[in-house]
Amino acid sequence: MVTDLRGETAADVASQIDGHSLEVDVTDSAAVDAAVAATIARCGGLDIMINNAGIAPPFNQERFQRTVTNEILRMSGDLSSMEPLEVLSTMSNEDWDQMIRVHLYGVFYGCRAALRHFQPRRSGVIVNISSVLGLRPSSAAPHYSVAKAGIIALTKSVAEEVAPFGIRVNAVCPGWVDTPLLSDFDEQARQIIRNRVPMGRLATAEELAELVRFLSGPESSYCTGEVHSAGGGYA
């Protein structure tokens, strides 16, 4: 079952894998509960839950250029000429809330809905998608970093609770992945990102999917409460 805030996007992916789709807003706990119930009714059960919904801060060209200039000044030791990025000081309540609700609340709702089905059966797998910025927070995206770090803490907490009952919960921390979330980044920004990654390139979605598949399958039967970074050496 493929879910997405945009129903047509979910349907397109589902058609590629001979699956089903639902339009779901993960910030709506009732909608997440209903999606799990619908999946069980349609598919006969639920074995694996992947909490993968996410958004990214919009690309700000002026702030990006300021960041680059500041880095050059820092390397030269000229801290007095650096200009504040004013990320947190200008952030609205709405921007903070949206980032936390989509990522952290979305994972909370997804884990809770899945566990209500997994616990009576004493089996099941949950994979939560965090980020390398949850391990190595970015000054350019404090709300994103906080939300992703929260997912890591939630994963470890839930994993410890349900491990005795045959339920595994793990997290994946992707680095920079070539997906539509980076569509606003120009080529200069992409090159700077590639330069920061020791492997010198962005990841593909397929590479991350292979790690999620491993954590979803029997090969990872002794893995729970683990945080698996896939950042090309970034974190």
How large is the C-alpha radius of gyration of the chain? 19
Strands 124-129, 167-174: pairing kind: parallel
- Residue 105: partners with Cβ closer than 8 Å, 6 or more residues away: 26, 27, 29
DSSP label of 136: S
Both tokens assigned to 29: 């706990």
* 76 CB-contact burial (10 Å; exposed 0-12 / middle 13-18 / buried 19+): exposed
Both tokens assigned to 218: 């029997």
Please tell me which residue in 109, 144, 222, 234 is annotated as part of the active site.
144
Three-state secondary structure call for residue 49: strand
Cβ(185)–Cβ(205) below 8 Å: no
Both tokens assigned to 82: 């650096």
Is 144 known to be catalytic?
yes
**Enzyme catalytic residues:** 144
